Amino acid sequence: MSDSTFPRLLADVGGTNVRFASQFMAGGPLAGVASYRCADFATLWDAIQHHLNERGEGRPRSCAIGIATAITGDQVQMTNHHWSFSIEALQRELGAERLLVLNDFTALALSLPALGPSACRQVGGGAAVGGAPLGLVGPGTGLGVSGLLPGAGGEVPIGGEGGHVTLCSSDAEEDAVLKVLQRRFGHVSAERALSGPGLENLYQALAEVRGAQAEALDASAISAAALDGSDPLAEAALAQFCSLLGNVAGNVALTLGARGGVYIGGGIVPRLGDWFDRSRFRERFESKGRFSGYLRAIPTYVVQAGDQAALLGAARALDRAG
């Protein structure tokens, strides 16, 4: 790899926040890590300019952007935010010799082999099989799904939109809640329940099913009320969130044959601490009938270093591009 690719600008663009970092040499640390609210900028280019001016940095020679949407061509439109741009036009504005744009969870997946032991916490049993596929699921502003498959030239990341698969229930109350969401949305994707807005959907729908009074709480307040035990409805909604997440994560493990482990990223689960460990997540992850034993052997991990992991993955994407 030539040093001509440096300095680099790395970006992790979610539906709520955008994070930037710089890298100045091959294998070097991430420098100048900063986070901004997407809502404070009209465009991604405005956010980039603000960051570079704040840091007093010149234009990078190369740039990698992990962004929360499907990348299917030159025109990029975010799923859960209004930003859109042309990759070619952004590269011209940036003045970079190389601009790589990839799905944010593809970037996060690329970071997994490089994360240290302290960056992840195992939930439940199981042991990773070396060289086997890895799975990745992450609720945040939306629901990201990805993974790494073994290949002759190294790991192959998956760029998909698994967060929009159809969500299914496993008990009567979940079924009733999903029927409420179906009336509201038509198609009930996993993201409709397993995201920040999804937790709010679960809270409101569960109140309707139980005939309870729901407060006007956002996802952060629902989580806080559940963790401190001040709102039984919030506790029930968060418990259902963790249960449904276990179901989806188990599906990802089966689909990919992810015997190397399934990782839980995103901004919500790492904040739940051992409350998440005590939830039905792992029970529901393993609860797959004849393949329960297969899943019992697969470890699950919470990614604790999510704020920088996707930036590290973006750097690794540039490394792989040569």
**pLDDT 10s digits, 188-245:** 999 999 999 999 999 999 999 999 999 999 999 999 999 999 999 999 999 999 999 9
pLDDT under 50 in the chain at which residues?
1-2
Q: Are 178 and 241 in contact (CB under 8 A)?
A: no
Question: What is the C-alpha to C-alpha distance for residues 226 and 114, in angstroms, rounded to an integer?
Answer: 33
Q: CA 314 from chain center: how many Å?
A: 14
Report the pLDDT value the prediction gives residue 251, as an integer from 0 to 100: 97
Tokens of 261: 């482990």
Report the pLDDT value the prediction gives residue 80, as an integer from 0 to 100: 87
> Using only C-alpha atoms, what is the Rg of the chain?
20
**Architecture per CATH, 3-110+307-321:** 2-Layer Sandwich (3.30)
Q: Are 107 and 310 in contact (CB under 8 A)?
A: yes
Question: What is the C-alpha to C-alpha distance for residues 272 and 94, in angstroms, rounded to an integer?
Answer: 38
Q: Is the dihedral of CA 7, 317, 159, 113 positive or negative?
A: negative
Domain spans in the chain, listed from the N-terminal domain onward: 3-110+307-321, 116-304
**CA proximity to 265, closest of 300, 236, 238:** 300
Report the pLDDT value the prediction gives residue 159, as an integer from 0 to 100: 83
Question: What is the C-alpha to C-alpha distance for residues 51 and 32, in angstroms, rounded to an integer?
Answer: 9
The class that CATH gives domain 116-304 is alpha beta
Q: Are 15 and 70 in contact (CB under 8 A)?
A: no
Burial class (CB in 10 A: 0-12, 13-18, 19+), 181: buried
Report the pLDDT value the prediction gives residue 1, as an integer from 0 to 100: 44
- pLDDT digit string (tens) for 288-308? 999 999 999 999 999 987 678
